[in-house]
Structure 1
Amino acid sequence: MKKTYVQVGIGGRARFFYEAIAKDFRETSELIGFCDISQVRMDYANRLLSEKYNYPKVATYFYTDFDKMLDELQPDYVIVTSVDRTHHEYIIRAMEKGCDVLSEKPMTIDAEKAAAILKTQEETGKNLRVTFNYRYAPHNTKIAELLRSGVIGDVFSVHFEWLLNTEHGADYFRRWHRNKYNSGGLLVHKSTHHFDLVNFWLQSSPKTVFAFGELNFYGMKNAEKRGVTQFYSRSYGSAAAKEDPFSLDLTSNEELRELYLNAEEESGYIRDRSVFSDDISIEDTLAVTVQYENKAVLTYSLNAYMPYEGFKVAFNGSKGRIEMTIIEKSYVNAGGKKEDEGALAFQEIKVFPMFLAPYIVEIETLEGGHGGGDPILLNDLFGTPEIDPLNRQANHLDGVKSILTGIAANQSIASGLPVKIKDLQTYK
């Protein structure tokens, strides 16, 4: 029997889910409802599904009619791909209506909202999945296998460096993500992926967090240093934007035009803000130290203005060291080079055993985004899941653990003090 799905939030990231159902999972899943602030976006999604996949028209509901959609359609699952600050509202209302939930990361953006989700989940007993596709990437899976095999013994410390390039990294400073009120900043919106990986790899939970963060590259205060001499609020209709390599042309492709430019009157959302505006409240340079319950220590950094995109991670253990280097091709979400999303330019895992010669570990090469992880995740969500000894499915508790590191880091940046995870206001 097919499972039925509705989706709330039909922006750029939404396509990842609704196109997968239409393209690959019709035998097991059925998409029956869209909900958004913009009818233009929902109409565009329906047009895509019809023209590309001959999919039947999906019912559409304005965002104020979310409860009405659930009452009328009675879906099995709600897919939440709205703005991060609204995730908790839709997750909670869906579970109260008897639906299971699939949520895009981050599950939510602060401890109070996380507490409300956990309370509702406990009261309703409904399932909540957080879609961490990085867990499914073959290189990240291989690290989990190596660590669990004990190849470097007990892991004492991890160094994790994430680089966002000037194409992808800049995009966070154009979009709604640039306001910490909407996204929780990069330590919650983006780094939740990375903190979840460390939790997954170490099979432990964060205990104490200390962090620093600054806006060093983007923002109005840095405009002159970046060579910007003419200020503009947005790219569309601006002559000054044409001289700025950080500008985004919403007329450059159909998806940007339909999802954002043509939907502006309804949504009020401007997608192509200048990255050198004065209303940016997130950081672009971040450093975090975390101690885990198993006493392992993480040193983590994220920079959003690098010449290439990818990450480097090293694990130091009682029997040796593992190093992994991943260089990804860049993309702009919902436009630009979306076809390159997650494609890998270089990947290497190297093991340095104590007293023995180092060696390279073979990594499986798979088709699909995020190093081949996306198709595996999508099958896990909408198809017939395969047996998974690594248990890569992330539930509500995994979702909370991943964001608590970033939430605590934000508090540490604000206070200049370390933050204990147990002191955050989460539901007991």
Structure 2
Amino acid sequence: MRRFAVVGAGSRAEMFIRAITAEPHAELVALADVNQSRMDAHNGWLDSPVPTYQAADLAAMLAKERVDELIVTSVDSTHAGHIVTALEAGCDVITEKPMTVDAESCAKILDAVKRTGQKVQVAFNYRFNPVHEMVRTLLARGEIGEIGSVHFEWLLDVRHGADYFRRWHRDKANSGGLLVHKSGHHFDLVNWWLGATPQEVYAQGRLFFYGEDGRRHGYAREYERSTGSPGAAGDPFALDLAGNDKLKALYLDAEGDDGYLRDRNVFDPGITIEDDLAVLVRYDTGATMTYHLTAYAPWEGYRLMVNGSKGRLELEVVESDHVSPAAAGEVKQGASPEAGSVTLTIRPFWAPPYAVELQPHSREGHGGADARMTGVLLGGRTDPMHRSATARDGALALLTGLAANRSLQQSAPVKVAGLLGEGVTA
């Protein structure tokens, strides 16, 4: 029986807690967080409550509870400290993405992995989506030949996208911004699909729609947080925190512990992350990628186009074709209530295009990826497609985002290799 503990008792922890309790070879033995009420909420949903610890006492928890593997689902900027503490205690680690939010702490993680011989796995669940697995299979078998370039556009709608601007993610010091926290998923997918390493990055971006300057678009209401605010009534950008039992227990009922507000106004001053971002990446294979992230789109999904020496692959995924006014004040959990679709097309040279047949899969949990991922990461399933992401994979995705952030500051291309410092490589 492998003994697991979780540090970070927010909403993302639930997926891992549920998976551990469902695995016959796994046992949840402890929770750690800065907020006791959140840990109490999770324990209330368990058949058998587990001991709880303050996050500052993580090392003592790992020793006392004889933890084999730590799962890190805390605020992004705290990941590195927890990961290194666990590795030095002789534990393996599963961490939510991003692995961390800056180059210095990334180097510390890579050093700790090397020193201790312990393992870090990064929870890049998009690798486990059956559609993304098919893309990798097609590219790996040469369906479109040698890859010359990639265009990748990702759209977060005004329900999901807005949520990053209500909570701790809106502070770049906490999350690294969307290029680290969100786009890291997408950068990892391209690294995995192409079997390539990013070398140079150029980026442009701004905070266009949300924040104080976004008030010019005419959507802003006058309130600090939506709960209890008359000004939030009928606002499609207001989160109904009290209307979701789990969010209420994890956040609204836990505010007395640390004062954290989960339902801030998305048009507040002081937001330090961008919502509209364009990135150009060059890889060691010679391929390039143009990438765009929009966090205020009317629909949610993504378009991928890969150009090769034998043709072109095109993928369009519509996760929700619009945002229903009735569901605007909710968070993205499970399948969206609106319509969605997936099309994957190969366009060979000198021949008609053809649709790739896809196996039916759930719209829940990122297309069924969450359950497939936890089965592998927790050790209950085999991984013939090598979807498990290592510390090196986590670093490469992170460094692409960090290079893009630095490029935003410098208005110049940034070489990825120089970010970790002299003598340190991913």
Q: What interval of TM-score do these two structures reach, taking the shorter chain for normalisation?
A: over 0.9
Of 333, 352, 357, 1:357 maps to 352
RMSD: 1.9
Is the contact between residue 72 and residue 82 of structure 2 (CA under 8 Å) also seen in structure 1? yes
2:324 aligned with 1:328: no
CA distance in 2, matches of 1:418, 1:145: 32
For normalisation by structure 2, the TM-score amounts to 0.95
Is the contact between residue 157 and residue 297 of structure 1 (CA under 8 Å) also seen in structure 2? yes
Of 405, 411, 418, 1:416 maps to 411
2:31 aligned with 1:40: no
Is the contact between residue 35 and residue 60 of structure 1 (CA under 8 Å) also seen in structure 2? yes
Is the contact between residue 255 and residue 335 of structure 1 (CA under 8 Å) also seen in structure 2? no
State how 1:151-300 maps to structure 2 within 5 Å.
151-228=143-220, 230-300=221-291
Is the contact between residue 19 and residue 375 of structure 2 (CA under 8 Å) also seen in structure 1? no
CA distance in 2, matches of 1:323, 1:189: 25
Of 398, 402, 411, 1:407 maps to 402
Of 76, 94, 107, 1:102 maps to 94
One-letter amino acid of the counterpart of residue 406, structure 1: G
CA distance in 1, matches of 2:179, 2:350: 38
Is the contact between residue 256 and residue 335 of structure 1 (CA under 8 Å) also seen in structure 2? no
Of 40, 60, 66, 1:68 maps to 60
Q: 1:343 to 1:184 in 2, by over 3 A?
A: farther
One-letter amino acid of the counterpart of residue 392, structure 2: L
2:358 aligned with 1:395: no
For normalisation by structure 1, the TM-score amounts to 0.94
Kindly provide the CA deviation profile for residues 373-428 of structure 1, in whole angstroms up to 9, marking residues without a partner as x: 2221111022522251x211100000000111100000000110100011112534
CA distance in 2, matches of 1:343, 1:7: 33
One-letter amino acid of the counterpart of residue 347, structure 1: V
2:3 aligned with 1:8: no
Is the contact between residue 341 and residue 370 of structure 1 (CA under 8 Å) also seen in structure 2? no
TM-fit CA distance, 1:339: 3.3
Q: 1:186 to 1:336 in 2, by over 3 A?
A: closer
CA distance in 1, matches of 2:304, 2:111: 35
Aligned-partner SS, 2:101 = coil
Of 63, 80, 89, 2:81 maps to 89
Is the contact between residue 226 and residue 263 of structure 2 (CA under 8 Å) also seen in structure 1? yes
One-letter amino acid of the counterpart of residue 240, structure 2: D
CA distance in 1, matches of 2:259, 2:383: 45
Is the contact between residue 188 and residue 393 of structure 2 (CA under 8 Å) also seen in structure 1? yes
Divergent runs of 4+, >6 A: 341-344
Kindly provide the CA deviation profile for residues 103-156 of structure 1, in whole angstroms up to 9, marking residues without a partner as x: 000001111110010011100010000011100101100000000110110000
Aligned to 1:52: none
Is the contact between residue 95 and residue 123 of structure 2 (CA under 8 Å) also seen in structure 1? yes
CA distance in 1, matches of 2:262, 2:172: 16
Q: Percent same amino acid among aligned pairs? A: 46
Gaps of 5+ in 2: none
One-letter amino acid of the counterpart of residue 227, structure 1: Y
Aligned-partner SS, 2:402 = helix
Aligned-partner SS, 1:370 = coil
Aligned-partner SS, 1:103 = strand
Gaps of 5+ in 1: 50-54
TM-fit CA distance, 1:243: 4.0
